[in-house]
Amino acid sequence: LDHILRQLGLRRPVLVSPSMSGRFALPFLLARGDQLAGFVPIAPVGTKDYAAEQYRRVQTPTLIVYGDHDTSLGLLALRSLRHLPEHRVAMVPDAGHACYLDKPDDFH
């Protein structure tokens, strides 16, 4: 991910991370979050693989997004990501795990 951002010449992008992309985005956030202007995790996988203390060190502004019908992964991710000090939460009503597909207007 670091290589791709450098090749594209992106400086301090906002990283949007839905579902499976959490396996790439979360390690990047924890190691190089200072290179991001923001982070938008959408019920990403892998959040439980890191300790609360690791999340507390991240200073990247974060918008945690999940659908209210995603009662497994969405809530699991929220439980872990709430340890990020600079976070807000946006719950998309009447949407499942892929809330951006279920309710695209509300998501945007």
Q: Tell me the catalytic residues.
A: 19, 70, 97
Q: How far apart are CA 51 and CA 15, in angstroms?
A: 21
Give bridge partners of residue 16 from the DSSP assignment. 40
